[in-house]
Structure 1
């Protein structure tokens, strides 16, 4: 660790990574909140084409980290990768303000994201000693930073885009990305030193066997997350269209812009995270806490329930516009499921990472996101062909299939995590 001392009970470097990530997420979610609306109104794309482009963009934004993580581990190093990636992404966000550069801007953001996304969270473990009891909690703190940026983004970028023009919203996303870069550069003294780490000696046969088992486990979890993402990623795709066209968003006589409702999800993450952590701690003290994979399976089922709730809203409205309270209820249930599955999944991948391959292993988590986003784009094309009730029931079924796979993987996950992680209090198994 390059600088000692704590802020808020954690290493100072975690605050720097938290704030850097917060502004990067501000830029990403600010642009995402506007993307489908921009394509269907200004670019005049049909729904199916807009859904496909949205799916392709989100997919490749999570595919490039697979390559970027390897480049960072072998050549650039984590710090240079973050700086270069953030600079390229900022340029891409500013290019979104110019309609002729639309496709090139999307590609530029995805390329920059490839260097930035896997290398920032992979620095968290380097802030702690192996036996530091705060280490597993760090990912939960980091995940709050993700959602703080995501909360601010639709309020700022969504408001500017819907009120003054989409290009103003995209420009604000670029400013957010530059803010994250400046914070990272300023906080360099508090970040972990990049140095070669030596793996502890392990018998070759045992290491090889455990390596095969770990790879198979990661592939299994990745398959489940890929399927889950096919339903989850509809929140910025077809669900955004439902929210705009089929929900009455008039509150107190004022119609609220559809994009601004996206702030509900990250706001609820920040409110619910400490409550969930307290609940899991109480369960751990009584020996009843769920394993990481069990939590992920529960999360997929809860997300399935959120889409069944939307199907119910469609049925209850009888072809008219659903009341905005249905929208609020959806976000509460959806966010609870997200907190059970996504932070725990990233934590499992990070804990299974071999020495000197931290960014590469974290990047492999995004391979599932890439495949799932491609699937989500194709699932989204069914929006124009299915009754909306049928479509949301289909999403619930997709998330339920992912839950079933995760339950089947629970036993091998607990066995392998027990081999690679020293024993610790169950309450500290929470990771994001």
Structure 2
């Protein structure tokens, strides 16, 4: 059973436990490093290393997939041997080293491997500490993951502006070096704020089960999480193109002139996290009002709506590119695309992470959260494979394929909604 820190009279920051701010800021800088490197990666491979587009897309997909596969092993190591705190510190240190290695061209493949390895320990161990900050009946717990998600995306806003600009103007390696500095800053914040974090139970090599709870309950949970994970995999095959093929389209198919100044292609990568930050408070307010009126949307249905919105966003690009022909599309349409896509993202991704954390069996928090990242692993592999079609299909046809992938994910999530709602709410 987790040690909940929330109690009457607790000291808070912004109405939430202080530990949430520490986790928020730590992951903010981790996302700065991740998005900073991701913003540059495809451009670096195609423009500097002169890789073919298909090869660059496949490497990008494989790297992002491995970065989300290693958490499966890392989550088990954290739960059974290291504990979440040690796993975060060790993982962040390894990731910082990997980002600095990216500044050296001969170390390219080694650097990607080191970052993926460190991410395996860091990624499941940090968000799995959120639940331990609250009592089971604390109404703030359900919205904590959306608040946390904003922190991630503040780093995502800064990354393309800082790392992207350094990479385009001064050289790719300067951008990669800045990403490493961001990862190191996150590690320092975590170490400085550890007194505000939940006290965790000693790691155990065997999962603990409540004797009063039937074994079938856990089995049903895992089957449902598997279904959600399959839907998330399909969704990610479309969603992850925003860092893969979409930058290539922005570079070649978008008119980036604004008042006589060319908007840098990497700056568009800031739109998604910037919109996350600005739209999240609006959505949280709307969701809270629906809950108070007794009309709260269930997690499965909320995720299905998110996938539908992403399908609509890619359908918009399919129509625009079909109508444009050989002409370039205005940059304002890219902004409109990101608004719709980000709304969909906010419905599905924080909800999915929160669902996995909420349903985690006792003392398997990091492992269960890592299972959510397994869907990102498989989805990133799918995205890499789908990305190889970019050079073989028309732009309109390619974006239509992405829209259909998101639509399939929405249908599957809609079918899973009732079983998810019928699960007993864990204490």
TM above 0.5: yes
Task: Provide the residue aligned with 1:178 in structure 2.
Answer: 184
* 1:120 equivalent in alignment to 2:119: no
CA deviation digits over 1:39-73, x for unaligned, max 9? 00111000000000000000000000000000001
Runs (4+) of structure 1 moved beyond 4 Å? 1-4, 196-202
Residues 196 and 356 in structure 1, CA contact (< 8 A), matched pair in contact too? no
- Distance (whole Å) between structure 2 residues aligned to residue 99 and residue 308 of structure 1: 38
Show structure 1 runs of 5+ residues with no match.
423-432
The match for 1:353 is 360
Once the two structures are TM-superposed, the CA of residue 285 in structure 1 deviates from its matched residue by 2.8
Are the aligned partners of 1:314 and 1:322 in contact in 2 as well (CA < 8 Å)? yes
- Structure 2 CA distance for aligned equivalents of residues 201 and 143 of structure 1: 31
Q: CA deviation at 1:334?
A: 0.5
Conserved? CA contact 2:143–2:284, under 8 Å: no
- Give the Cα separation in 1 of the matches to 2:289 and 2:194: 37
1:396 correspondence with 2:396: no
* Counterpart check, 1:325 vs 2:346: no
Q: How many angstroms does 1:2 deviate by?
A: 7.3
1:335–1:2 CA distance, 2 compared to 1 (3 A): closer
Matches within 5 A, 1:207-226: 207-226=214-233
Match of residue 313, structure 1, among 320, 331, 335: 320
RMSD between superposed Cα atoms in Å: 1.5
Contact 1:82 / 1:115 at 8 angstroms: preserved in 2? yes
How far the C-alpha of 1:38 sits from its partner, in A, is 0.2
Contact 1:269-1:335 at 8 Å conserved across structures:
yes
Question: Within 2, Cα distance between the matches of 1:352 and 1:217?
Answer: 10
Q: State the secondary structure of the residue aligned to 1:289.
A: coil
In the alignment, structure 1 residue 169 sits paired with structure 2 residue 171: no
- C-alpha deviation, 1:286, in angstroms: 2.8
Which residue does 1:31 correspond to in 2?
37
How many equivalent pairs are there? 418
C-alpha contact (below 8 Å) 2:209/2:361 kept by paired residues: no
CA deviation after TM superposition for structure 1 residue 253, in Å: 0.9
**Preserved contact between residue 2 and residue 190 of structure 1 (Cα < 8 Å):** no
Gaps of 5+ in 2: none
**Per-residue deviation at 1:255?**
0.5
- Structure 1 position 279, deviation (Å): 1.3
Q: Deviation string for 1:328-359 (max 9, x for gaps)?
A: 11000000010011011111100000111000
Match of 1:236 among 224, 230, 243: 243
Distance 2:11 2:114 in 1: 38
Task: Report the CA distance between 1:200 and its aligned residue.
Answer: 8.0
Following the alignment from structure 1 to structure 2, what is the Cα–Cα distance between the partners of residues 99 and 380?
24
Structure 1 residue aligned with 2:308: 301
2:70 is aligned to 64
Question: Structure 1 residue 196: deviation in Å?
Answer: 4.7
Alignment of 1:133-144 (within 5 A): 133-144=139-150
Shift of 1:412: 0.4
Q: How far off its partner does 1:365 sit?
A: 0.3
Contact 2:94 2:114 in 1 (8 A): yes
Corresponding residue for 1:252? 259
Rounded to whole Å, the distance in 2 between the matches of 1:47 and 1:34 is 14
The 3 A distance-change label for structure 1 pair 208 and 58 is same
1:42 to 45, 48, 66: 48
Contact 1:299–1:339 (CA under 8 A) maintained in structure 2: yes
Q: Does 1:371 align with 2:378?
A: yes
Distance 1:40 1:410 in 2: 42
Distance 1:133 1:228 in 2: 29
Shift of 1:12: 1.0
Alpha-carbon spacing, 1:95–1:14, altered in 2? closer, same or farther (3 Å): same
